[in-house]
Every structure is written in structure tokens, then in C-alpha cells.
Amino acid sequence: MTKVYVGMSGGVDSSLTAALLVEQGYSVTGVYMKNWTQDLPGMRCPWADDLADAKRVAVHLGIDFKVFDFENEYRQKVVDYMIDEYRAGRTPNPDIMCNQEVKFKLFLEAALEDGADLIATGHYARVADGQLLQAVDTNKDQTYFLYRVTKKALEKTLFPLGEFTKPEVREMAAARGLITARKKDSQGICFVGQIGIREFLSQYVEQKAGDIIDAQTGKVLGRHDGAIFYTLGQRHGLDIGGGLPYYVVGKDMDKNEVYVTTNLNDEALWRNDVMLHSLHWISGDAPAEGEYMVRVRHRAKLTPVTLTFGEDGLVTLHFKDAERAVAAGQSLVMYDGERCLGGGIVA
């Protein structure tokens, strides 16, 4: 019997994943990945509750259950990476790094070493012959977060939820009596729960007040408590009163200055061409130059681009229509039809 280790987070998606695999005849073991347990001021980390829910589901399903402790590696590979990127003025995505370094590397390796044949997670995605395909539920599709996973890892992975919509998943979980059927999806940073990025970063970086400056006139409009907390295109949290809304169009980390404008057509807000570095192609081979679709952030609509390669190995994506607020550090993920090819990080 094929042994599958299911990453169980205590949520409805991974709970139903385990249930479906049991029904499909696999020998299933539930695994809770202990990645982050630290409380923050005003925010209790929900890890113990999530672990308890995952255990209850495992008992309900009659499957073995284990805890894999990745907390040290997680801090180094995901949390420290995120903090360093923000310090450099970029906009990283810790969920993508978590999938690359923890779920589909550490977890996969530990599971195989422990006797598993395959792993499974509750991601909304599909796999066919080591290729990553979009989920049936395009609104919930999570291939954006999975673009840095290797073909080798995907060949050892099952995504049972890729064929279902989120409402269907909740109904199926309820029909099976799973206690997580109505549990709310976690929001905010992947490892902290309900807390926002600003609150999290403020625990690790010094808050330094600086000027908010009108990019067109050079006039100081107000003060901020750290350029690190602002990203391109941001509107909320500026606290500049009166008139039209202001948008962040740039920042200087050395001077600790944030630049804003009321002009939605400001050229600093729009990009026709974007260069990518830290490229990752799922098949192992770069695609040919040509036209593809790209997603600039999770749940953003797919938009057409032309891919070209420079002599330095960097990739340039030319948008058919100028794209708003593409920030350095963000991931751009490329698609050919329903297949996710991979992507890179905005230079």
C-alpha cells in the first residue's frame, strides 16, 4: 500500500486532503509541521490550537499522526529572509519561500526518510507528470505560491483538492464530520496568523521616523515611522489628510524617505518592462522566448507578456499593457495555458 504523509495544518483544506486519501486507499500519516510558535505583543500564536485540531482530525480518520519540528530552519530560511528583504527596501513573499524551503524540501525529505512514498498538501493546484497545473477553482488557485517547487518534488506530491472549489471542500468536510469544516481560513502572514506585516516587522526592526515627500514638488507632506513599512502603490497608512488620496511611488532606505503622489498615472507607478532574477523553471529548462501569461501577485488576473533573454542571463518581461505597482522583490509567475512554468523575482 502506498504510504502518503499529509501536511496537516489544522485547517479544513489539509483535513479534507487526508480524508480523501484515506478513502482512495492510501496508507495515510498526518504530519503537523511545527514552524513557528512565538507569541507577539497582542497576538497569541495559534500553533497549539492548530496542532490540536490536526490531531483531532487524525483521530477521527483513524490515521497515524506525527509532529515534525522545523522551527530553527524555518526562522533561518523564511523569517530571516523576509526581514532582510524588507530591510533592503524590497517586497518579498514568505509563503513562496516556505513552500520552496520547508514544505517541498524539508518536509518532503523528512517524510521520505521516515518511510513515505509520497507527500500531500491541501494546496489548490494540480500535478500531471511533474508539471504544475492551475486548480479548477481559479479564484483559489495557489500555483503562484508554488512556482519555486522542483519537478522532482512535484513527482512525489499529491494535491487532492485541485479538482474542487473552496465551497465544495467545506461541504465535503462537513459531510465527513470533520471538525475543521467551518474553521476560518488563516489570514495575514503565513506563520503568524491574524497579525499584519507592519506589526510583525516592528518586533524586529527599529522604527525610525522620516519624511513623506511629494514626488512632484519635493514638499514634505508628513512623517512616517519607517520607510521599511511601505511598498510601491500603497495608499493606506500614510495619514496625509485632505484632497485626493496619495500613493507611494518610491522610497530611499538610506535617507529613510517615502515618496508619494496623487497622480495615478505617475510613470513611477507603472511598468512596461520588468527584469527578473533568481529564476526558477519547474521543468529545469527555460522556456523559449515568446508570448506567455504572467501573474504579478496572488489572485491578480493573468496578463499577457513577451519573454526575452538578455546576454547576462536575466529575463525581461514586456507587458502588453503597462502594469501597476510592480515592486522589487515581488515574484512574477509565468503560465503557458494552465501550466505554471516557473518565474522569478523582480529586480
Q: Can you list the alpha helix ranges (DSSP code H) found in 144-276?
A: 151-154, 166-175, 197-201
In whole numbers, what is the pLDDT of the chain averaged over residues?
Answer: 94
Provide the pLDDT confidence category of residue 286 given band limits of 50, 70 and 90. very high
Average pLDDT, integer, range 224-243: 90
DSSP 3-state assignment of 240? coil
15 in Cβ contact with 56 (< 8 Å): no
User: For position 33, what pLDDT does the model report?
Assistant: 97
pLDDT in tens, 287-318: 999 999 999 999 999 999 999 998 877 899 99
319-151-29 Cα angle (round to 5): 125
User: For position 133, what pLDDT does the model report?
Assistant: 98
101-233-210 Cα angle (round to 5): 95
325-329-330 Cα angle (round to 5): 55
DSSP 174-196: HHTT-TTTTPPPP-SSTTTSS--
Q: Which of 106, 190, 201, 238 is catalytic?
A: 190
- Is 340 catalytic? The answer is no
Q: Which domains does the chain have, with CATH numbers?
A: 3-175 (3.40.50.620), 209-261 (2.30.30.280), 269-346 (2.40.30.10)
pLDDT in tens, 158-214: 999 999 999 999 999 999 999 999 998 876 666 655 667 888 898 899 889 999 999
User: For position 346, what pLDDT does the model report?
Assistant: 97
Average pLDDT, integer, range 314-333: 96
> Which residue, 234, 345, 337, is CA-closest to 296?
345
User: For position 199, what pLDDT does the model report?
Assistant: 84
What DSSP designation does 33 have? E
Cα separation, 166 vs 12, whole angstroms = 10
User: For position 46, what pLDDT does the model report?
Assistant: 87
- Is 98 catalytic? The answer is yes
pLDDT in tens, 111-164: 999 999 999 999 999 999 899 999 999 999 999 999 999 999 999 999 999 999
- How many residues comprise the chain? 347
User: For position 44, what pLDDT does the model report?
Assistant: 83
| Residue in the block written with cell 518511510 | 115
Provide the pLDDT confidence category of residue 237 given band limits of 50, 70 and 90. confident
Average pLDDT, integer, range 13-39: 96
Instruction: Kindly report the pTM of this predicted structure.
Output: 0.94
83 in Cβ contact with 201 (< 8 Å): yes
Cα separation, 131 vs 35, whole angstroms = 27
Beta-strand relationship, 339-346 and 131-134:
antiparallel
Q: Which of 54, 82, 98, 110 is catalytic?
A: 98
